[in-house]
Structures are given as structure tokens and as C-alpha cells.
Amino acid sequence: MVSFTSQNRHTTRVVCSNMSGNKAIAFSFAFVMALAMTNTCLAQNSPQDYVNAHNKARAAVGVGGVSWDSTVQAYAQSYANKRKSDCKLIHSSGPYGENLFWGWGKDYSGIDAVDNWVSEKQYYNYNTNTCQSGKVCGHYTQVVWRSSTKIGCAKVVCDNNAGIFIICSYNPPGNISGQRPYESDDIMISEI
């Protein structure tokens, strides 16, 4: 029998009865390792982690930072929960801008998703305001869209361990046809 007698942010005490000393030690070690891995995963998916990853990319082009918005996050979480059963990369068609990520084979973090979107920068041509032929860059342009200043993101494990689904929603939405994500003056300011 295992009972959890107390738990807080720093300490978890496990009481094991009816276990031999070696089994209790092995169980305790496994439990502590599971907690350590959980805390690491949570640390890589905190609101501040998402904000920092976005703001790093935005600063590179001289665009001001985003901040976390609980209303936008609630929308993202609700949609992630709906996609949990199939984890298809289908946009919600909701009121916010949106980036979606799906990965399989490891426990992808929110930072992994943002880094994936930002990696599309190499395919974006500012002068023509287009993506390189045959390439995608709209996730990147949403990340750095100047007028998108509020974000909310969510991560779910797909049913049957079919991968990780991550969504970030943006308010106001970006990727408005015919507009650039930022002005060339922004870039010059960031290079000074």
C-alpha cells in the first residue's frame, strides 16, 4: 500500500507499508524520478517560457514583446482539448490568430513548438512579403506579427499516446493578407 501523506511545491513524503526495504527504496526512487521529470516538463511549458520564446524571435526583428493573456489561453486550451482525440492540424477558425504544432516520438515542449515555427524565418522574404516557393513561413510571420501583442498557448498529449499537440493563439490576429508582419524600420532599430 502506498499513501501520499503530504505534498507541496518542494516536498513530497511517501509512506510505504507492506514493502520490503529494497522494494520501498526502489519505489521511492522511481517516484522521485517521475516527479523530477514532471517538473522539468512543466518548466518547459510555463506561460513565461512561451512568452520568452516568442519575444526572442520578435526582438530579432525589432518588434515589441508579447504578454500572456488568460482569456486567449483559455481559448487555446479549449481548442487543444477538442483536438486531443485526433490531434489533427485543423485550425479552429476562431477569433484569434493561431499556430498549431504536432510532434511524435518525444515529449515536445512549448519551446520546441515555438522554435519550430521560428525556424521558418529562413523561408520568409521581407522585400516581397512572401514565402519561398514550396515552403511555409506563415507560422513565423504570426510569431513576429507586430500588432499581435497577447498570446495564450496550450499543450495536450494526444489520445492513445499519438503525439503532442500544441497551440498558441494570438490577439489581435496576424497574417493579414497584403500586410507585412513588421516594418523595415523595426529591423533597423533592432540592429542599432
Report pLDDT digits (tens) over 3-24: 222 333 333 333 333 445 555 4
The residue-averaged pLDDT of 146-167 equals: 97
Whole-structure pTM over 0.85, yes or no? no
| Structure-model confidence comparison of residues 27 and 126, the more confident one | 126
Share of residues in the chain with pLDDT > 70 (%) = 73
Report pLDDT digits (tens) over 130-150: 999 999 999 999 999 999 999
Check if the beta carbon of residue 27 is closer than 8 Å to that of residue 21: no
The residue-averaged pLDDT of 184-191 equals: 55
Q: Is residue 97 scored above 70 in pLDDT?
A: yes
Of the listed ranges 27-31, 111-115, 135-139, 173-177, the least confidently predicted one is 27-31
d(CA 11, CA 15): 13
Cell of 47: 506561460
How crowded is residue 106: how many other Cβ atoms within 10 Å of its Cβ? Answer: 9
Query: What band does 45 get if pLDDT is binned at 50, 70 and 90?
Result: confident
Cell of 169: 493563439
Secondary structure of residue 99 in the 3-state scheme: strand
Confidence (pLDDT) at 26: 44
Confidence (pLDDT) at 68: 99
d(CA 154, CA 169): 9
Beta strands in 37-185 (DSSP E): 67-68, 97-103, 124-125, 130-131, 150-157, 164-171
